[in-house]
Structure 1
């Protein structure tokens, strides 16, 4: 099979297309012919060596994949050849709190990921693709969509009438917008570009703040709530935005920490968290049970992922460069099959 590998060190220039033997499924394993894979910022960090500098190489990157079951091993009962499926990010997290096994059995590092023609997975590590979605759309669900679902539903308990602040217009952020709207929440969204804000308005963002022209976006968000503060912040910026997220949220509110786009290290203002009785929740994607609930809700409401651009398999490096540029609106996808 053809597969991209991070082979001789980290960096986009080290991401090379090569050949590996076609995998053979063992007991309770399925072989998936990959048709599409989407990119997450985690994947870019992995390729560049910023996510886990000690990751063993070679590694096939990419945490998200969708495709068709091509072959099954002995004992497999949950899927059959010809079934359309998506690969779950954690191959060992059925439900409940995350475990060490759940953290160590994730696709795109430390396990090989989806930027290849085939994947070998446990039958519990795949989920039927919602019939109304294309494979390119379905490939965006396992990480970005489930992360947003975990933040707002599984962990966040967002309810109708709540105010949710969403940062940016990447994959997680736009899924958070869609899910918050589905729940009946009011959404405030930030971006540095007015054209992206207009597109977010069309998706249902109630209020929008350009943080390039309004650097005190935390104050602007509070002003939009009568200075009460928002109920929940979907924090994807990291160290560069965290303090403002704490200032934007109401006393007793929640900040879901998801991304590190502006850096992962910084001073933590503990006094503000303590005195405002804030809940700061780290979100590690999510479990299979959460994915099942999300898939039911998405199917019922026909939620369609926002796909920015679909690249050919031969354009994988270009796809990563596009993600790194920050020009995307929604998910960047690579068509494999």
Structure 2
């Protein structure tokens, strides 16, 4: 099969013919029909996240937003059949640890991050293997497109879990989203669907325009603003009720926290870069005085995907709106290079392998 293989950090991916995977006894092989190119792939391509034990090594196949058809299953698989149309969450669980047993497999004690470690190769390839298939594969509703659903592997479900499950959003609440990449734009759309008034913050006018298309009622260009958090506070008449850092740099994290009103909730979704290496200073005293909550959020348990599907079926959520373009496998490096300067708008999706 064809795959885009990492040879060295920051260097063009190598398009190679490699052996297709065989299913393990509890696993399944999925023929990839579409796979998003996410900023997390850029982090892997750059060699970030060594401080998390996730620094990619040569030979790694990236790609963690796939949708496609099951083409083979292991002998122990009971609930997944060949031909099933599925999405694959990026944070694969083992189903057996205490967290998985409590319904929190997104933070499995033995989490297997798709496309970031040698034992779980990614989906920038014609086929991808998924361990513990009965638990990790999510069957898609009838009639949906793999391209439209590719983001359910990461950006869309990550934003949904953060806002619908981790935050406490009420009708008419103000929600500020800092960083309008794929996750941030998904968050704008989801927060709007949940009844919030959304303020979108980014450096790029084209991304802010897309945010308005997806439901933002106000936008702030952080490059032009003298005080980003002050502008958000002015728009929201005192501060947002919920704010999300959807990028993961110190500036967006700090702006998000400082944008909040008293009793506000900051949701940290973006993981940091080489500059921060997981450590960001915060206005701790102000957070204490205003009783502000700092909440981490990672991925989403596959058992809760039906919530997204119900909202998709009624037209309240349209994941495809965040898809910006479809590309071929050989175009992935160009898109990763464009992400270095934040030049992509929305999510490019591979649909030709």
TM-score (ref. length: structure 2): 0.87
Segment of structure 1 superposing worse, 314-323 or 250-259: 314-323
Residue 38 of structure 2 is matched in structure 1 by 40
Does the 8 Å contact 1:146/1:290 carry over to 2? no
Matches within 5 A, 1:196-207: 196-207=207-218
2-structure distance, mates of 1:55, 1:314? 20
In 2, are the aligned partners of 1:246 and 1:272 still within 8 Å (CA)? no
Structure 1 residues 244-268: Cα deviation after superposition (integer angstroms, max 9, x where no partner): 2222101111111111577534323
Who is 2:306 aligned against?
A: 292
Q: Which runs of 5+ in 2 are unaligned?
A: none
Q: Is the 8 A contact 2:21 2:128 kept in 1?
A: yes
Q: Which residue of 2 aligns with 1:318?
A: 334
Which of 117, 123, 133 does residue 114 from structure 1 map onto?
A: 123
**What SS does structure 1 have at the residue aligned with 2:250?**
coil
After superposition, the Cα gap between the structure-2 partners of 1:76 and 1:336, relative to the gap in structure 1 and judged at 3 Å, is: farther
Q: Which residue of 2 aligns with 1:327?
A: 343
Residue correspondences, number: 332
* 2:242 equivalent in structure 1: 232
Distance apart, 1:16 and its partner CA = 1.2
| Aligned counterparts of 2:284 and 2:84: Cα–Cα separation in 1 | 49
Q: Where in structure 1 are there 5+ consecutive unaligned residues?
A: none
| 2:295 corresponds to | 281
SS at match of 1:80: coil
Displacement after TM superposition at 1:302 (Å)? 5.3
Distance 2:168 2:48 in 1: 32
TM superposition shift of 1:127: 0.9
Distance 2:29 2:296 in 1: 32
**Corresponding residue for residue 10 of structure 2:** 11
What is the CA deviation profile of residues 47-90 of structure 1, one whole-angstrom value per residue up to 9, with x for unaligned ones? 11112374444211111111111122223332222221111112
Is 1:96–2:104 an aligned residue pair? yes
Counterpart secondary structure, 2:110: helix
Q: Look up the match of 1:69.
A: 70
Separation (CA, whole Å) in 1 of partners of 2:334 and 2:203: 23
Q: Which residue of 1 aligns with 2:145?
A: 134
- After TM superposition, give the deviation of residue 200 of structure 1 in Å: 2.3
- State how far apart, in whole Å, the 2-side matches of 1:20 and 1:335 are: 19
Q: Secondary structure at the match of 1:140?
A: helix
Q: Report the more deviating stretch, 256-265 or 134-143.
A: 256-265
Distance change in 2, residues 1:192/1:10 (3 Å): closer
Aligned residue among 24, 27, 32 for 1:26: 24
2:258 corresponds to which residue?
Answer: 247
Deviations 1:17-57 (A, max 9, x none): 22321222232321111111112211111111112374444
Alpha-carbon deviations, 1:260-289, whole Å to 9, x = none? 577534323321222221111112212212
By how many angstroms is 1:129 displaced? Answer: 2.3
Question: Could you say which residue in structure 2 is the equivalent of 1:187?
Answer: 198
Distance 1:10 1:196, change over 3 A: closer
Alpha-carbon spacing, 1:215–1:311, altered in 2? closer, same or farther (3 Å): farther
What CA distance in whole angstroms lies between the structure 1 residues aligned with 2:123 and 2:90? 10
TM-score (norm 1): 0.91
* Residue pair 1:251, 1:278 contacting (<8 A) in 2 also: yes
* Cα RMSD for the two superposed structures: 2.1
Distance 1:62 1:195 in 2: 25
